[in-house]
Amino acid sequence: MAKDREDGKEMVRIHVMGKTYSVPAGLTIMDAMEYAGYRFTRGAGCRSGFCGACSTVYRREGDYRLQFALACQTTVEDGMYLVQLPFTPAPRAKYDITKINPNENVLLQYYPEIARCVSCNTCTKACPQDIQVMDYIQSALRGDIARTAELSFDCIQCGLCSMRCPADIKHYHMAQMARRIYGRYMSPVPEHLEKRLQEIEEGKFDAELDRLMHVSRKELEAAYAARVREKAPAGSERSE
Amino acid sequence: MEKLTYFPGCTLKDTARDFEISGMAVMEALGYELAELERWNCCGTVFSLTEDDLMHQVAPVRDLIRAQEAGSEEIVTLCSMCYATLKRASLFVNGNQERLDKLNAFMNKEVDYEGKVNVVHLLEVLRDRIGWDAIEDRVSRPLDGLTVAPFYGCTLLRPKEIAIDDPEAPTVLQDLAAAVGATPVDYPFAVECCGAYQVVDHRDIVIERTHRIMSAARRADADVVVTSCPLCHYNLSDTQKELVRTVPDYKEMPIIYFTQLMALAFGVDAGKIPTALRAKLKRLQPAKREG
Ligand code: SF4
Ligand code: SF4
Ligand code: SF4
Ligand code: SF4
Ligand code: FES
C-alpha cells in the first residue's frame, strides 16, 4: 500500500463516504476526518474514549470483515473505509427502578429479545471496550443480574453491539438496567455512607460550610493542607 | 473428589434450581464434584434440524469448545433438553471436517474446536460409572414403601442415536428408584411427550396430556412422579394446578427431579420438596425423618 508524502509528512489514504482523502499518518480517525474537512456536530463528545459517542465502522482494503472502533481512540491506517455512527436507534424499556421486582426474570421481562441470542458472539467482536458482551447477555438470560452488571461495567453505551446483533438485542440498555438493579437491590449498603448522608441532611455541616464560603483563599489553602484524611481500611492499599 | 465437567443450562440457574441443588448434593455424597464450566452460553434449547444450517450449531458447539478449553473431553448435563441439544450437536459436527472448518472459521475469536467432546447425561454417570450398588450403599434413609412413577419424556430417549437407554422400554429411572429403596411402578405413559413448547400456543394439548399421564400414574398407585427435564416438570406441575381447579376430584401428584429422590434417600439437601410428598415420607419413615 503506497503512502504519499506531503511537506515531509507521512500521509495515508482514507475513504469517507465514497471519497478518498490524503491525511497525515498517526492521527486518530476523528482528527483525520476533521483534517479532511468534516465537522462533527454529532458523534463526538469527550474525545477521550469515555462517552461512547464516536462509534466507527470500518473496513481495511483487501479484508472482507467489518471492524469497529471509537473514532477518538483509533489511529487511521492506510486504505481504511470509514463510516461514523453518530446515533443508535435502539429502543429502551421504561421502568421505575423503585417499583420493579428484582427477581431472576426481570431482565427478560423488560428485554424479552435477549432470549433470541444465538451465541454468535458478533456483539463481542464489535465492542470497542473489549467487553464479553455475549457472556453478559447469556448471564442475563439465566437471571444472573450480578454477573451481568459486573461483565458490562465498562460499557460506554456506544451501541455498536446492538447495531450488529442478528437477534436485535439492545445489549447496553439491558445491561444498564442490570447495573441499576444491582446498585439498588443487591450491592451491600455502605453503613458509613448512610450515616453521613443522614448527618448532612440533619444540617451537621451547614455552619462549617457557611464559614468556609467566606474565608480568604489563603486560609482555605491552609485548611486544605491540614485536612484530616480518612485512614485506609486495614489490608487495603491506597495510592494517592 | 473426582471432577465432572458440568454444564448447568439456563433453567437450572433459574426455575429449576432445586434440580441443581439436589444434583450437587448427591454427587458430592457419592464423591464427585460437578465442576461448572467457567463460561458457558445457552445450548440453544432445541436442536436445529436443518442439515445445512450451521448458524444454529454455533451455540452448542461453543459450549463444546468451553469444555475443550477446560481440558475435558466430556460434558455432563442434568437437564435432559440440554443433553439432547448438546449431544445431537456433538454428533452432527464431531468427525465432520467440513462442518468443523466452517464453524471454526466463523468463531474466529475462539480456539478451534477439535471435535472430541462427548456429551453425557448424569443418569448415565450414575448407572455406568458409579453403579446402583454404590448408590444403594450411600442410602441412609431408604424410601421403603414410596411408589415412584418415572417420567422420561422425549429428550433422553429420542431420536435413538442419542437415547441413554432402550427408547421403547427404558429402565434407568426404575433402577435408580429401586436402588434408593423406593418401588417403581409400571404405567403406560412413562415415555410419552408432555407437549413441550405447545404450552405456549396450545395449552389445551398440554393440559390434556398432563391429565392422561398423571391419571395413569395415579391408577398405578404412584406417590410421586420423577423426571429429569425441567420443561416436563414445568408442564406437568403447572397444568396440574389447572386440573385441580377444573376437574372434579382431581388430586395433585407431587413431581420431583430424580436427584431430589436420591437426596431424600441420602439425607442431603433436596431443595424444595412438595408438601404432599414430605407428609407421605413422614408417615413412611416416622422415626428416621426426625432431626
Ligand atoms: S457493550 Fe455494546 S454499547 Fe457497550 S461498549 Fe460494548 S459495544 Fe458499546
Ligand atoms: S450478537 Fe446478538 S445473537 Fe449474537 S451473541 Fe451477541 S447478543 Fe447473541
Ligand atoms: S441475513 Fe443471513 S442470509 Fe442474509 S445476508 Fe446476512 S447472513 Fe446472509
Ligand atoms: S418437555 Fe415434553 S417434549 Fe420435552 S422432553 Fe419433556 S416430555 Fe419430551
Ligand atoms: S468522543 Fe467520547 S468516546 Fe470518542
Which residue does chain A place closest to B17, by CA atoms?
Answer: A142
**A 12-31 residues inside an 8 A Cβ radius of B:** none
Whether residue A101 lies inside any domain: the answer is no
Residue B276 CB partners (closer than 8 Å, separation 6+): B252, B253, B254
The pTM of this model reads: 0.86
Query: What integer pLDDT is reported at residue B55 of this predicted model?
Result: 93
ipTM (interface pTM):
0.86
> Do residues A128 and A182 share a domain?
yes
Please state, in angstroms and rounded to a whole number, the distance separating the CA atoms of residues B19 and B259: 7
Please state, in angstroms and rounded to a whole number, the distance separating the CA atoms of residues A174 and A108: 9
- Establish whether residue A115 lines the binding site of ligand 2, counting it when its CB lies within 6 angstroms of any ligand atom: no
Are B7 and B63 in contact, with CB atoms under 8 Å apart?
A: yes
Query: What integer pLDDT is reported at residue B13 of this predicted model?
Result: 95
For A196-220, what is each residue's pLDDT tens digit?
999 999 999 999 999 999 999 999 9
Contact A142 B13 (CB under 8 A): yes
Q: Measured between beta carbons, which residues in chain A are less than 8 angstroms from residue B62?
A: 119, 121
User: Which CATH number is A67's domain given?
Assistant: 3.10.20.30
Q: A64 alpha carbon to ligand 4 midpoint, in Å?
A: 43
Determine contact: B42 vs chain A, CB below 8 A.
yes
Distance from first CA to last CA of chain A, Å, rounded?
Answer: 47
- Compute how many other C-beta atoms are within 10 angstroms of the C-beta atom of residue A46: 13
- Chain B: give the shortest CA distance to residue A162, in Å: 18
- Chain B: give the shortest CA distance to residue A170, in Å: 18
Query: What integer pLDDT is reported at residue B94 of this predicted model?
Result: 98
Q: A152 alpha carbon to ligand 1 midpoint, in Å?
A: 8
Nearest CA to ligand 1 atom 2: A161
Query: What integer pLDDT is reported at residue A2 of this predicted model?
Result: 47
Whether residue A36 lies inside any domain: the answer is yes
Q: A45: domain range? A: 5-84
A105, A121, A144 member nearest B109 (Cβ): A121
Whether residue A116 lies inside any domain: the answer is yes
DSSP-assigned beta bridge partners for residue A82: A16, A58
Residue A119 CB partners (closer than 8 Å, separation 6+): A134, A138, B41, B42, B44, B58, B59, B62
A–B CB contacts, 8 A cutoff, strictly below: 43
Q: Is A149 exposed, middle or buried (0-12, 13-18, 19+ CB in 10 A)?
A: buried
Are B1 and B31 in contact, with CB atoms under 8 Å apart?
A: yes
pLDDT of residue B128 exceeding 80: yes
Q: Quick one: cell of B264?
A: 431424600
**Confidence band, pLDDT 50/70/90 cuts, at residue B240:** very high
> Do residues A77 and A121 share a domain?
no
Q: Name the one residue in this structure whose C-alpha cell is 447496553.
A: A172
> Do residues A77 and A142 share a domain?
no
Give the DSSP H or E segment for B77.
strand B74-77
Nearest CA to ligand 2 atom 1: A165
Whether residue A89 lies inside any domain: the answer is no
Compute the Cα dihedral for A116, A119, A120, A123 and give only its sign: positive
> Do residues A55 and A117 share a domain?
no
Are A60 and A75 in contact, with CB atoms under 8 Å apart?
A: no
Compute the Cα dihedral for A104, A107, A110, A115 and give only its sign: negative
Q: Measured between beta carbons, which residues in chain A are less than 8 angstroms from residue B10?
A: 141-143
Whether residue A131 lies inside any domain: the answer is yes
Please state, in angstroms and rounded to a whole number, the distance separating the CA atoms of residues B152 and B84: 13
> Do residues A17 and A77 share a domain?
yes
- Compute how many other C-beta atoms are within 10 angstroms of the C-beta atom of residue A37: 9
For B46-96, what is each residue's pLDDT tens digit?
999 998 889 999 999 999 999 999 999 999 999 999 999 999 999 999 999
User: Which CATH number is A175's domain given?
Assistant: 1.10.1060.10
Please give the number of the atom of ligand 1 that sits closest to the Cα of A172.
Answer: 3
Query: Residue A160, SS3?
Result: helix
- Compute how many other C-beta atoms are within 10 angstroms of the C-beta atom of residue A47: 17
Give the DSSP H or E segment for A15.
strand A9-16
Number of domains in chain A: 3
The domain boundary residue, chosen from A49, A84, A119 = A84
B40, B56, B107 member nearest A121 (Cβ): B107
Whether residue A239 lies inside any domain: the answer is no
Query: What integer pLDDT is reported at residue A4 of this predicted model?
Result: 57
> Do residues A9 and A79 share a domain?
yes
Q: A128 alpha carbon to ligand 1 midpoint, in Å?
A: 7
* Of A110, A112, A89, A91, the residue nearest A181 (C-alpha): A110
Q: Which amino acid is at B113?
A: Y
Q: A166 alpha carbon to ligand 3 midpoint, in Å?
A: 9
Please state, in angstroms and rounded to a whole number, the distance separating the CA atoms of residues B276 and B213: 19
Separation in Å, CA B97 to CA A1, B66, B171: 36, 19, 36
pLDDT of residue A1 exceeding 50: no
> Do residues A182 and A203 share a domain?
no
Determine contact: B39 vs chain A, CB below 8 A.
yes
Q: Is A132 exposed, middle or buried (0-12, 13-18, 19+ CB in 10 A)?
A: middle
> Do residues A68 and A12 share a domain?
yes
% of chain B beyond a pLDDT of 70: 98
Determine contact: A146 vs chain B, CB below 8 A.
no
Please state, in angstroms and rounded to a whole number, the distance separating the CA atoms of residues A91 and A114: 13
Averaged pLDDT of chain A: 92
What structural domains does chain B harbor?
2-122 (1.20.1050.140), 141-290 (3.40.50.11810)
Q: Measured between beta carbons, which residues in chain A are less than 8 angstroms from residue B82?
A: none
Please state, in angstroms and rounded to a whole number, the distance separating the CA atoms of residues A151 and B254: 39
Determine contact: A104 vs chain B, CB below 8 A.
yes
